Amino acid sequence: MITSIYITPAGQTQKDDVQSILLVDDFVEHLELMTEILEGHGFRVVASTDANAVLARLDELCPDIAVLDVMMPIMNGYELCRRLKAHFGKRYFPVILVTGLSQLDDKLTGLEAGADDFFSKPFNTKEVTAKIRSLLRLKMLQDELDHTEDMIFTLATAVEAKDNYTRGHSERVSVLSGRMARIIGLAEKEITNIRKGGILHDIGKIGVHEDILHKKNALTGEELAVIRRHPVTGTEICKPLRTLRHIMPAIRHHHERWDGLGYPDALSGDAIPLMGQIVGIADSFDAMVSIRPYRAGLSVEESLRVMQDEVNAGQWNPVLLNRFINIIKSGQVEIHALYGMK
């Protein structure tokens, strides 16, 4: 008999590769029948008639997918679906809604609540298990992608943290670039991509030896060539991950120049992707304000003056750089807080 929360008996739950299905239905007989079927197919089942009890213990129950009855008295399936999706946030968590009805309106309400699939009562066991397996496969792929993306971001931060001079650089470039993107009116998705690009823009420096990165004297031509490879190395590192393809312009093109004298592709003018231009400006500003092995940091005012001179020399898009200077000067970015200045 299923009471508050039924969990597949221990022993069957110990293996890491057993996937866990959350079932919520106010009709106990239905819950028991589903539990029996799904346990028979080798799944770990967490079953309950109580949506609130499930929500209170979600992190501990750790389900991989949910199958929810729509018609429940205290909290209906749509609401529970919405709350589950909100709980898991950006992580993919598939939800199937079980409806006694097959009207289009119910499906539309379900889709609005974030449901991934539906089936109707009375259900066909083969159809139910096929839908569950299909969504679980999708979740596994998504989890792997998320994991790889997380690893790349962790790697970028870890590499930077080894170095006193660059610690926090990418985070500041990310904040500055994102702020600039928002103020010039880019779409929310683009702003998110630019912020991610700020974090990863220098990931290719993993391939540059520390002796070169920390060198106090002028770099030789050969060393300069090694440094200048980092946008391409960064692109190669992130290329296999399709989820990062939208931020590639930040990684590859943050060292291009408006006059075409930059690297790696010597693009000029509007041919330089806007994301690359924005991250390039933020990167250069942060590098000037920060202390480096070969010099003390410049003041904000001095850095902006240098960048203004660089516009005249052809390095930057004049319109974009003027916007950046205005954004900093008008206090739209909390520069002093960002740099821990008094």
Binding site for Fe ion (CB under 5 A): 202
CB nearer to Fe ion: pick between 160 and 202: 202
Report the nearest approach of Fe ion to the CB of residue 270 (Å): 21
Q: Which amino acid is at 177?
A: S
Report the nearest approach of Fe ion to the CB of residue 178 (Å): 17
Per the listing, tokens 């969990």 go with 7
Report the nearest approach of Fe ion to the CB of residue 279 (Å): 9
Q: Are 50 and 72 in contact (CB under 8 A)?
A: no
Query: Which tokens sit at 183?
Result: 């103020």
Between vectors from CA 263 to CA 260 and to CA 265, what angle results, nearest 5°? Answer: 75
CB nearer to Fe ion: pick between 179 and 230: 230
Report the nearest approach of Fe ion to the CB of residue 219 (Å): 14
CB nearer to Fe ion: pick between 164 and 330: 164
Residue 170's CB is within 10 A of a number of other CB atoms, namely 24
| Interhelix angle 318-329/169-183, nearest 10 degrees | 100
CB nearer to Fe ion: pick between 25 and 202: 202
DSSP tag of 292: B
CB nearer to Fe ion: pick between 54 and 250: 250
Largest CA distance in the chain: 79
How distant, in Å, are the alpha carbons of 29, 38, 99, 101 from that of 122? 13, 16, 9, 10
Report the nearest approach of Fe ion to the CB of residue 181 (Å): 18
